[in-house]
Amino acid sequence: MTKRTARQDAGVELLEKPFVEDRAEADQPEEAPATAGGPGESAATTPQGPQVGIQQGTQQFVTFLSGDEVFAADMSPVKEIIRVPQVVRVPLAPTALDGLANLRGKVLPIISLRRLFGFPDLEHDDATRALVIDVGQPLGFVVDRVSSVVGVDAARIEDVKSISTTVNTEVLSGLIKDAGGHAMVMVLDFVKLVQREFSQIAALTRNAAVADAAEAQVQGDEEDNSDELQLVSFSVEGQEYAIAIEEVQEIVQVPEEVIHVPHSESHVLGVMTLRNRLLPLVRLRSIFRLPESELDEKSRIVVLTLNGVSVGVVVDAVSEVLRVSKSGVDALPALLAREGNLAEVTSICRLDNGKRLVSIMTPRNLFDHSAVRTAIGEVVKSVNESQLESTADANEADESLDDHEQVVVFHLDKEEFGAPIESVQEIVRVPEALVRVPQAPSYVEGVINLRGTVLPVIDLRLRLGLPQVERTDRQRIMVFLISDVRTGFIVDQVAEVLKIPRAAIEPAPQLSSEQSLLLSRMANLEKQKRMVQLLDPPHLMGKNELQELASVAR
């Protein structure tokens, strides 16, 4: 299909092969446009000037401007032309990469052509476009302006050796004179450009089998220490509580809209929708008969599931992921155990030589609590039977099919990252001061004493090539076990534990050898307009670095 556009160079009508100028226009029907030699308006002239006809046997090129230069690209690998979308910044990527964008459910790298050629950056405007070109994997190249699509006979394409330009002629395949209203147009070979400027991408694209093998290599589970418990700790009215991490389905933020159930008990906050299922919400403050408080940005919902039934428990804040020795956990003294309704707390965890006590709760007992049973019952009453049956079926299907992956979502700068929950040993607060170790590697910020063990701590920002920031109370240390070396990484904020459908997880675009291993997967949550870059902890440190860390720990 061809069509007229308002942006045309003098004397040249922009003709378009099957590509999309705007994503918003992609699915909209258009009137049949006029083309040279086809039905519709005559090919002789247009209001803008003479039209360039595309005869059979000629080669189609799209011409565009970048900096002070005019280029042309063979239309064959051009999939579409789009407005420059919003992007997610990617660490360890080439400097010319603006970031990753979501293009109709697919992750698309966006590359600045100006930056590739060493031209000064220019703020995007209404004319800025991205050419989506398939060079083994789709890439979006940002150009200042798309000029026209022209048909050129092969005999008119000249050699580039005789010209001198600001662009290296090795990435050019030819020169077209007097095309599209321009005296000289350089034909840019994007395959050569990628091979030259993104050699790592080209190598990874040529050898996909190597990348697949590397991805499979990092899928092993972390070592399971049977003498330890892994707990998600949270606070209610300043008191710390915890639940075994395997009992927690996910941790989500309190939504902006909660559906309140009429005539419900005070401990029932209401109902929310979580992945097309109704989730009753109960406030732990009310169950514990503590004073009510306003929900804020720190409030979280801990989702628990038992026998296909899910409940969201609202807590003041999720604190840490703790890894504690079973020897430091004692059963609740009989004198303190509650009778009748429920003993919510079943054991006590002693930390910091007994100075810090964390009450451990059992979800099964919590589900037996009359308040939780009432919340579930009121949700049942608030929906009709057909809705309830479909919700129960969805719950059973969710339990029976392992079609989700749980990740701990954390922030670095403005971007979201995730790590498999089974790889996270624990999450602890950043102390006021880290202990510096003489002759420690430069990338080690310091060490902390974690229950009698020396834990090397690294700023993940620096590891990923991001600028360092001042310490805040939101920062946390995420502890990973990498080749038997326990290492802590400082992140800006731990946001939530998220259950992501496996169908939404795809291989990340391969931008560099280091990035393709460390950030090899991407969760593309299109409906939520979120992209979470998934970290592979085994590749956080190299072999030599691990040896240095082991010596620091010793």
Q: Where are the alpha helices (DSSP H) in 207-319?
A: 208-217, 284-287
Show the tokens assigned to 95. Answer: 């400097």
pLDDT digits (tens, 9 = 90+) for 30-64: 333 333 333 333 333 333 333 344 444 678 889 99
Q: Report which secondary-structure segment, H or E, holds 513.
A: helix 513-518
Cα three-residue angle 115-119-125, rounded to 5 degrees: 80
Q: Report which secondary-structure segment, H or E, holds 243.
A: strand 239-244
Name every residue whose Cβ is closer than 8 Å to that of residue 251 and which is 6 or more positions away in sequence. 232, 300, 301, 302, 303, 318, 496, 497, 498
CA distance 440 to 446: 8
Single-letter amino acid, residue 413: D
DSSP 346-414: EEEEEETTTTEEEEEE-HHHHHHSHHHHHHHHHHHHHS-HHHHHHHHHHHHHHHH---EEEEEEEEETT
CA distance 93 to 421: 25
Show the tokens assigned to 444. Answer: 């080690």
Terminal Cα distance for the chain, rounded? 69
CA distance 215 to 518: 10
Name every residue whose Cβ is closer than 8 Å to that of residue 111 and which is 6 or more positions away in sequence. 94, 96, 97, 98, 139, 140, 141, 142
CA distance 482 to 528: 32
Show the tokens assigned to 503. Answer: 């169908």
For 95-194, strand residue ranges (E) read 97-103, 106-112, 129-134, 138-143, 145-152, 157-158, 172-179, 182-188
Give the closest residue to 452 by CA, choosing from 308, 313, 359, 324: 324
CA distances to 21, 31, 375, 526 from 28, in Å: 11, 10, 47, 21
- DSSP, collapsed to helix, strand or coil, labels residue 477 as strand
- DSSP, collapsed to helix, strand or coil, labels residue 421 as helix
CA distance 432 to 446: 12
Q: What pLDDT is recorded for position 382?
A: 54
pLDDT digits (tens, 9 = 90+) for 214-242: 444 444 444 444 688 888 889 898 888 99
The model's pTM? 0.63
Show the tokens assigned to 472. Answer: 């805040």
Q: What is the pLDDT along the chain (554 residues), one digit of tens a residue?
A: 333 333 333 333 333 333 445 434 433 333 333 333 333 333 333 333 333 444 446 788 899 999 888 999 988 889 999 999 999 888 888 888 899 988 887 888 999 999 988 889 889 999 999 999 988 778 999 999 998 888 888 778 888 776 666 667 788 888 888 777 787 888 888 888 887 777 655 554 444 444 444 444 444 444 444 688 888 889 898 888 999 888 888 888 888 888 776 666 667 788 888 877 778 888 888 888 888 888 888 899 999 887 777 888 999 988 888 888 888 888 766 555 554 444 567 788 888 777 788 888 888 877 777 667 766 665 555 554 444 444 445 455 444 446 888 899 999 988 999 999 888 888 888 988 888 877 777 778 888 888 778 888 999 998 888 888 888 888 999 999 888 888 999 999 998 888 899 889 988 887 777 787 888 899 998 888 899 999 998 888 887 888 777 777 67
- DSSP, collapsed to helix, strand or coil, labels residue 157 as strand
Q: Point out which residues pair with 458 in neighbouring strands.
A: 444, 489
pLDDT digits (tens, 9 = 90+) for 353-406: 777 888 888 888 777 776 677 666 655 555 544 444 444 454 554 444 468 888
* Inter-helix orientation angle 199-206/190-197, to 10°: 110
**Domains, the chain, ordered by start:** 45-206 (2.40.50.180), 228-400 (2.40.50.180), 404-553 (2.40.50.180)
CB 305 within 8 A of CB 399: yes
CA distance 142 to 82: 9
Name every residue whose Cβ is closer than 8 Å to that of residue 445 and which is 6 or more positions away in sequence. 434, 457, 458, 459, 490
Q: What pLDDT is recorded for position 1?
A: 37
